[in-house]
Chain A
Amino acid sequence: MPFEGLTQKLSDIFKKLRGKGKLTEADVDAALREVRLSLLEADVNYKVVKEFISNIRQRAVGEEVLSSLTPAQQVIKIVYEELAAIMGKDVRRLDLTGSPPAVILLLGLQGSGKTTTAGKIALLLKKQGKHVMCVSCDVWRPAAQRQLEIVAQKAGAGFFTLGGDSKAEDIARAGIAQARRQGYDVVILDTAGRLQIDEDMMEEARRIASVSEPQEKILVVDAMTGQEACKVAQVFDEKVGISGIILTKVDSDARGGAALSVVKVTGKPILFASTGEKIEDFEVFHPDRMASRILGMGDVLTLIEKAQEAIDEEKAREFERKLRKNQFTLDDFLEQMRDMRKMGSIGDILRMIPGFSRAKLDIDVDPKDWTRVEAIIQSMTKEERRRPEIIDGSRKKRIAKGSGTSVQDVNRLLKKFSEARKMMSRLSSMDKAGKFPF
C-alpha cells in the first residue's frame, strides 16, 4: 500500500529520536530523503522536488519541535504546509464573466481527455442553468467531431462544427458567432491533441485562442503523466497562455505528482478533477486531498491539524492513550460526540488513518440523534458506561424508560459503540504491530 509508505518510514526514523527536544540537521536530512523519494515516486518533477526539499530543509532545521508533537509529525506538517502552499488552499471557480457567450478553450496533449472533459463541463454548467454549446475544432483526429457531438448530446448541450477542409480557427469563429445569435451563455471549444514541441500545431492553438478570446484557457492534464508534465505545461502556458488546469483520470491509482509539477511551473490553479469515464464523474479540485495523495499518506495531516486546533493538548493525549489502550468507554463516546463539531466524528478520524481509509464504518451517530443518544448514556450508571457488556434486558428497559427512548434505541447505540470499540482495538493492535503512524 503506497499510502502507508511515507508516514511509516518517517515514524520509523523518528521513533529512535523520541524524547529529543530538537531535531539535528542529520535527523532532518534522513527524513527528507524519504520525503524526496516519495515525491519522485509520485512523479513530481525532479527539479520541483529539489527546490521543494531545500525549502523544507530550511524550515525544518530552523524550527523547534513543538513539545506536543513527535518529530515525525513536525516534519510531515512542514512538508504538508509547503505542498499546500504550492497547490493553493482555495478552490477557484470557472470565470465566465463578460458579455456572453463566455468561451472556454480546452487544450492538451493527445489522449489527455479533452473531449470527455468538454462534455463534463457542459453538464456541470447545464446543471447551473446555463445554455451551453460545444464546438469541435478538432479537424485532425478521425471521428473526433462525432465524439464531441455525442458527448454534447448526452450533456444536453448544443453542438457545432464545420466539415470539409475548414480550419480549426474558422470553426471556432463561426461557432461563437452562431452561439451568440442563438443566445448561448457558454461556448466550450474542444481542440485536437497536440505535442507542445509541434510548432505548427501550437501555432494553430494560438490562432484559435486569438479569434475566440476565451475567458478560460484550460490545459487538460492526465494524472498519470510523468516528468514531462512540467515542460508540457510550461510551453503551453508560454505559447498560448493558460488560465487553469483540469486533471483527468484521477480515478487511476497514480499518485499524481504531475499535478504539483504543473501548478508549480505555471502558477495556475487546478480547477477540476475528472474521476471516471461517465459524464457526471467530475469534481471540484481539492488541493489538500491531492497533496496528501502525492505524499502518499492518506489524510493523516488533516487529522493532525484538526486535533491540534480543536482540542487542548491534555484531551488529545488522553484520547490517543485510550485509543491505543482500548479503554474507550461510553463516557468517551459521549464526550467525543460533543467534540465532534470541532474534531470530526470518530468515523472521520478513523478514516483519516492509513489502513482505515476504506474500512466500512458504521459507528457515527447522526447529529439529529445526538440528544437522544446523550439522554441514553446519561441514564446509565457509571458502571454501565464503563462496562457496557453488563447491560442486560432489564437494564436496557430501565435505561430506555429513564431516557424517554425505546429499547431498540438503546440497542442501536450499543451496537454502534461496540463497532467503534472494535475499530479501536484494531487500531491498538496495529499500533503494537508498529503500523500505527504516531
Chain B
Amino acid sequence: MGLFEKLKASLSKTSAFLREGIDRALRPGAIGPESFEEIEALLIQVDVGVKAAGEIVEEVKERLKREKIQDPGRLVSLIEEKVAAILSTTSKPLRVSDSPPTVYLLVGVNGSGKTTTAAKLAYRWTSQGKTAIAAACDTFRAAAAEQLEVWSRRVGMEIIKHQEGSDPAAVAFDAAHAALARRKDLLVVDTAGRLHTKKNLMEELRKVVRVIAREIPGAPHEILLVIDGTTGQNGLIQARVFTEAVGVTGVVLTKLDGSAKGGIAVAIAGELGLPIKLVGVGEGLDDLKDFDPAGFAKALFAGDRSDQV
C-alpha cells in the first residue's frame, strides 16, 4: 500500500485516528519521547498549532518529571488538564448591563457565523421573556439584512435596517436610539464579514463601535469575535488583529457540530488571553452553548463531538 493509500485509509476511519494516536502514546511501559511526540501530533491535528502544542507538551513533561509520574494513563488527562487550565484562566461569562439595553456586537471574517450567532444570542433573551432588537449593520453582502430579518421573525425581535450599501454606522446609530426609546433589554449588532487584512473595513468597524459607545454609555458590553471552528492557524491572526482594531472582549467558536475540534481556541486563549465565551453547535436557535473549558479539552481528544457539551 502506497503512502497515499495509507493516508486515505487512515482518514476514512473518521476521527478514529485520534484515538489510535492516544493508544500509541499510551503504549504499555513508561512514558517515552514517542508518547510526547504522539500527543504533540494530536494537538497539531486539531489545529492547536505547532507553537502552542509544543508549549503544552513541554509543561506537562516538566510536571511529569517533577511529580515523578510514570503511568502512561495519566499523560492524556494531564494534557487535558493543561488545556482546560489555559482556557479557564480567561473564562468569563457574558457581561450584562445594569441599565438596559445590553449591547452585543458581532464581528468576524466572512461566513464565520455572525448573523446566525446574533439570532441565537437574541433568542436566549427573548425565550426568557426579555425584549431584543437587532441592528442589520451588514449593509454590504447581498440579502444580508433579509437573512437577519428572517431570523428576527423567528426569534421575536425587532430589526433596524437600511438599504444595501448604506453606512453601517448610521444603522448602528438608529438601532441604538430605537433600543433606548423602546426600552429593549438587548441590542444585537450584526456586522458584515470582513477580512482583518482590509484596513478600510476595519476602520468602518471602529466607526460602528464609536457610534454605539457614544449613544449608549458603557456599550457595547461585549464585542464578540465569531470564528469558524474549522479555521486553522489564521484564527490567531484574526483574533489579534480584530482585538487591536476594536477591542474584542470574547470569542464565539462556531460549527463545532462538524468534525473540526476548534483547537485554534487554545492558541487564542493562551497567546492573547482572550476568553472563549460561546460555542455554536448547529444551525438551530438552540445551538449556542456556554463555553466549557474542561469539556472542550476532553473533546479535543475524543473521537466524536457528542461528548462536548
Contacts and interface: CB of A to CB of B under 8 A. Distances in A.
Q: How large is the interface on A (under 10, 10 to 19, 20 to 34, 35 or more residues)?
A: 35 or more
Which of A45, A55, A142 has most B Cβ within 10 Å?
A142
Contact of A277 (B11, B110, B146, B235): B110
Interface string B132-149: 000000001111101101
B47 A227 contact: yes
Given A227-B45, A277-B140, A41 B195 contact: no
Contact of B234 (A140, A141, A147, A254): A254
A229 B228 CA distance: 13
Contacts of B4: 51, 264
5 contacts: A144-B147, A146-B143, A154-B142, A222-B111, A265-B8
B11 A249 contact: no
Given A147-B142, A231-B259, A46 B109 contact: no
Interface string B14-25: 110000000000
Closest 9 CB pairs of A and B: A111-B111, A226-B232, A43-B232, A142-B150, A150-B142, A147-B143, A254-B234, A143-B146, A143-B147
B41 A46 contact: yes
A17 interface: no
Nearest to A47: B7
B228 to A, nearest CB: 6
Contact of A224 (B7, B45, B232): B232
Which of B45, B111, B146, B230 has most A Cβ within 10 Å?
B230
Contacts of A277: 110, 140-141
A257 interface: yes
B232 A234 contact: no
A179 interface: no
A11 interface: no
Contacts of B230: 109, 222, 225-226, 228-229, 232
A48 interface: yes
Nearest to B145: A143
B283 interface: yes
Contacts of B150: 142-143
A126 to B, nearest CB: 17
A229 B258 CA distance: 12
A195 interface: yes
Interface of A: 37, 40-43, 45-48, 51, 54-55, 109-113, 140-144, 146-147, 149-151, 154, 195-197, 222, 224-232, 234-235, 238, 249, 251-255, 257-258, 264-265, 277
Contacts of B234: 43, 224, 252-255
B18 to A, nearest CB: 11
B232 A258 contact: yes
Contacts of A228: 47, 230, 258-260
B50 interface: yes
A23 B192 CA distance: 52
A150 B143 contact: yes
B47 A226 contact: yes
B27 to A, nearest CB: 19
Contacts of A146: 142-143, 146
Nearest to A254: B234
Contact of A226 (B14, B231, B257): B231
Contacts of B231: 224-226
A47 B140 contact: no
B44 A46 contact: yes
B151 interface: yes
A62 B12 CA distance: 33
Interface in B26-52: 41, 44-47, 49-50
A267 B112 CA distance: 27
A74 B12 CA distance: 36
